[in-house]
Amino acid sequence: MSPRKPTAIALAKPQEREAKLLKWMGIAGLSSIIILAGATLARAESHETIITAHGYNEYDTLKYSPEDPHLDYVNPNAPLGGEISLSTIGTFDSMNPYATGIGNWGALSTVGYEDIMITTSDEVGSYYCLLCVTLEYPESQDWVVFNLRDDVFFSDGTPMTAEDILFTHELLIEQGTPSYASYIKTVIASAEALDPYTLKFTFADGIPRKGLITQMGSLPAWSKKWYEETGARLDESRLEISPGTGEYMVGSLDVGRQIIYKRNPDYWGKDHYLQVGRGNYDSIRIEYFGDSSAAFEAFKAGEYTFRRENSSINWATSYEFPAVDKGWVKKETLAEGALPQASGFVFNMRLPKFADRNVRRALGLMYNFTWTNESLQYGLFQQRESFWENDRLKAAGLPEGRELEILEGFRDKLPEEIFTEEAFLPHTSGDRPTDRRNRRAAAALLAEAGFTPGDDGLMRDASGNTLDVEFLEDTQSFDRILLPYVENLQALGVNAVYNRVDPSQYQNRRQSNDFDMRVGAYRNGLTEGSGAEQKYGCKDRDDIFNPAGYCNEVVDALAKMLPETKDYDEMSAVVRAIDRIMRYDYYMVPTWMLKENWVAYYDMYEYPENLPEFGLGHLDYWWINQDKANQLRTDGALR
The full DSSP string for 300-350 is HTTSS-EEE---HHHHHHS--SHHHHTT-EEEEEEE--SPPPEEEEEE-TT
What is the arithmetic mean of pLDDT over 417-437?
94
Tens digit of each residue's pLDDT (9 = 90 or more) over 502-511? 988 998 899 8
Domain positions in the chain are 48-337+597-639, 342-449+518-593
Distance CA 399, CA 407 (A): 8
Give the residue among 83, 106, 84 at the shortest CA–CA distance from 95: 106
DSSP string of 183-251?
HHHHHEEEEEEEETTEEEEEEPTTS--TTHHHHHHT-B---HHHHHHH---TTS--S-----SSSEEEE
Phi, psi (rounded to 5 degrees) for 41: -65, -40
What is the arithmetic mean of pLDDT over 18-23?
34
What is the arithmetic mean of pLDDT over 608-616?
92
pLDDT over 70 (residue 310): yes
- The b/e string for 517-543 (b: 16+ C-beta within 10 A; e otherwise) is bbbbebebbbbbbbbbbbbbbeebbeb
Tens digit of each residue's pLDDT (9 = 90 or more) over 215-267? 999 999 999 999 999 999 999 999 999 999 999 999 999 999 999 999 999 99
Element (H, E) at 505: helix 503-511
Whether 123 and 63 have beta carbons less than 8 Å apart is answered as yes
Q: Count the neighbouring beta carbons within 10 Å of the beta carbon of residue 392.
A: 13
Distance CA 261, CA 250 (A): 4
Distances (CA, A) of 4 to 87, 198, 272, 367, 412: 36, 20, 6, 56, 59
Tens digit of each residue's pLDDT (9 = 90 or more) over 456-485? 999 999 999 999 999 999 988 899 999 999
Whether 175 and 238 have beta carbons less than 8 Å apart is answered as no
Whether 154 and 243 have beta carbons less than 8 Å apart is answered as yes
Check: pTM over 0.75? Answer yes or no: yes
Q: In the structure, what pLDDT confidence band is assigned to residue 37 with cuts at 50, 70 and 90?
A: very low
Q: Which fold has domain 48-337+597-639?
A: D-Maltodextrin-Binding Protein; domain 2 (3.40.190)
Helix axes 436-448, 479-492, angle to 10 degrees: 60
Q: What CATH superfamily classification does 342-449+518-593 receive?
A: Dipeptide-binding Protein; Domain 3 (3.10.105.10)
- Burial-class residue 195 by CB neighbours within 10 Å (0-12, 13-18, 19+): buried
